Amino acid sequence: MNGLTGFVLRRVIGAVVTLFALSVIIYVVFYVTPGNVAQITCGPRCSPAQVHQVAQQLHLDDPLYVRYGHFLQGLFAGQDFSTGTSVEHCAAPCLGQSYQTDQQVTDIILAKLPVSFSLVLGAMVIWLLLGVGTGVLSAWRRGRFSERVLTAITLAGVATPVFVIGLVLMIVVCGELQLLPFPQYVNFTDDPEQWAWNLLLPWLSLALVESANFARLTRASMLETLAEDHIRTFRAYGVSERAVIARHALRGATASVIALNAVTFGSAVGGAVLTETLFGLPGVGQELVHAVKVVDLPVVVGMVLVIGFFVVLANAVADVLYAVADRRVVLA
């Protein structure tokens, strides 16, 4: 598998370069973003002298390259932070400390990632079932009532912003019908059952947004396989339609569905901002939006890198899976 090794190596190098470039861009963008970070950190009524002290403590007066140097130093060698009464060491790879809350960025990310994973994993199950199911039905039973209903549902998911779907679902299901409790994140390790019940609506909302893509991809791949010559041959030999669909057409769609799934998963880990905000899930996306608003550079950079890592990883995984499943694609 020399080709595969080389491919993986190229992807890894490419990913590292991409992530570093991303961190530089974020530093530059936030350097020119309005908002006096020291004043925000210190509080609106701080005197100029106090603001200056805070700026010194956070190295905010240093030139951009020096601050980026601090960031790299933390990443490779670790950093020390003063709590006032003692010195805390943040071991490499250290992504720094929040300007606003004095928490270490790695700790923040470790606290938020399980929430985002919980949300996206559950939603993934639903979008796969709903999306692939709709896709199969629309390829197999074109024009039937069930197909139309499912297609309309998935398209409605795309066409309606999640903050509308989610809120209406919540008002109806939790408020008026009282079928479910209002979502409130519970750790999986604390209570798996409550974890699932509380996440059910967020899963549904997020899955509705994504499932149309899967429906469309499944349908297209299946139709294409069904049009191939060997399928016609099977049909001609009297193989049942059900068997054709299940054994051949669906299998033909698997590779691309897996690839799309990896990519969707990767981007949703950090990208489900609206779902997290609406349902009050303390995940990566919500924290990141907050950090951007208060110009909390270390948190922003750390989180963007982690999210970027998942996107890059997911894309690579998609390519490998795709290549393994379908020999026709040449690894480039």
Partner 1 sequence: MRQTSVTARRVAAASVSLVVAAGAAACGPKDNDAKGSGGDSAPHKGGTLTVLNSQPQTDFDPARLYTSGGGNVPSLVFRTLTTRNRENGAAGAKVVPDLATDTGRPNKDATVWTYTLKKGLKYEDGTPITSADIKYGIERSFAPELSGGAPYLRDWLAGAADYQGPYKDKKGLSAIETPNARTIVFHLDKPEGEFPFLATQTQFAPVPKSKDNGTKYEEHPVSSGPYKVVKNENDGEHVVLVRNPNWSAATDGERKAYPDEIDVRSGLDSSVINQRLSASQGADAAAVTTDTNLGPAELAKVGGDKALAARVGTGHFGYTDYIAFNPTVKPFDDPKVRQAIAYAIDRSSVVNAAGGSALAEPATTFLPSQKSFGYTPYDPFPAGTSGNPAKARELLAQAGHKNGLTVTLTHSNAKDFETSPEIATAVQDALKKAGITVKLQGLEDNDYRDKIHSVKTEPGFFLAHWGADWPSGGPFLAPIFDGRQIVKDGANFNTGLLNDTSVNDEIDAINKLTDLDAAARRWGALDQKIGEKALVVPLFHPVYKRLYGEDVRNIVISDWTGVLDISQVAVK
Partner 2 sequence: MSEALVTVEAAGTESSVPAASGARQFWRRLRAQRAALVAAAVVALLVLIALGAPLLTALEGQDPTTYHPSLIDSARGGVPVGSLGGMSADHWLGVEPQTGRDLFARLVYGARVSLGVALAATVAQVILGTVMGVAAGLGNRWVDLVLSRITDIFVAMPLMIMALALLAVVPGDFPRPVLVALVIALVSGWSTTAKMVRAQTLTLKNLDYVAASRLSGWSTWRTAVRELLPGLAAPVITYAALLVPTNISAEAALSFLGVGVKPPTPSWGQMLTSADVWYQAAPQYLLLPAGALFVTVFALTVLGDGVRVALDPRAASRLRVGTGSKREARAEQAAPQAGTRARRQGGAKTEAGKEDRA
What letter would DSSP give residue 291?
A: H
Query: What is the residue whose two structure tokens read 């519970």?
Result: 186
Task: Let me know: does 214 contact 139? Beta carbons within 8 Å.
Answer: no
Residue number, 17 or 179, with CB nearest to partner 2 = 17
**Residues in 196-215 that interact with partner 2 by CB under 8 A:** 206, 209-210, 212-213
Residue from 4, 9, 77, 159 touching partner 2 (CB under 8 A): that is: 159
Task: Let me know: does 120 contact 264? Beta carbons within 8 Å.
Answer: no
Q: Which does 196 bind (CB under 5 to 8 A by kind): partner 1, partner 2, none?
A: none
87 phi/psi in degrees, rounded to 5: -115, 130
Distance, CA of 72 to CA of 269 (rounded, Å):
25
Q: Is the peptide bond before 161 cis (omega within 30 degrees of 0)?
A: no
Residue number, 2 or 86, with CB nearest to partner 1 = 86
Residue from 53, 57, 160, 194 touching partner 2 (CB under 8 A): that is: 160
Residue from 103, 146, 233, 240 touching partner 1 (CB under 8 A): that is: 103
Residue 143: its H or E element: none
Q: Which does 84 bind (CB under 5 to 8 A by kind): partner 1, partner 2, none?
A: partner 1
Q: Which residues of 91-130 are buried (b: 16+ CB within 10 A; e: fewer)?
A: eeebbbbbbbeeebbbebbeebbbbbbbbbebbbebbbeb
294 binds partner 2 (CB under 8 A): no
294 binds partner 1 (CB under 8 A): yes
Q: Which residues of 139-153 are buried (b: 16+ CB within 10 A; e: fewer)?
A: bbeeeeeebeebbee
111 binds partner 1 (CB under 8 A): yes
Residues found in the chain: 332
Residue number, 244 or 292, with CB nearest to partner 1 = 292
Stretch that binds partner 2, among 15-23, 42-50, 58-66, 102-110 (CB under 8 A): 15-23
Distance, CA of 167 to CA of 204 (rounded, Å):
12
Q: Which does 164 bind (CB under 5 to 8 A by kind): partner 2, partner 1, none?
A: partner 2
What letter would DSSP give residue 92?
A: S
Smallest distance, Å, CB 191 to partner 2? 26
Indicate the SS3 state at residue 182. coil
Site string for partner 2, 265-284 (x = CB under 8 A): --xx-xxxxxx---------
**Residues in 264-283 that interact with partner 1 by CB under 8 A:** 277-280, 282
Q: Which does 210 bind (CB under 5 to 8 A by kind): partner 1, partner 2, none?
A: partner 2
Smallest distance, Å, CB 65 to partner 2? 20
Number of residues that bind partner 2 (CB under 8 A): 85
Give the Cβ contact number of residue 223 at 10 Å: 17
Smallest distance, Å, CB 82 to partner 2? 29
Smallest distance, Å, CB 173 to partner 2? 13
Contacts of 259 (CB under 8 A, 6+ apart): 318, 319, 321, 322
99 binds partner 2 (CB under 8 A): no
Q: By the criterion CB under 8 A, which residues form the site for partner 1?
A: 33-36, 39-51, 53-54, 56-57, 82-86, 100-103, 108, 111, 167, 170-171, 174-175, 178, 181-182, 184, 277-280, 282, 286, 290, 293-296
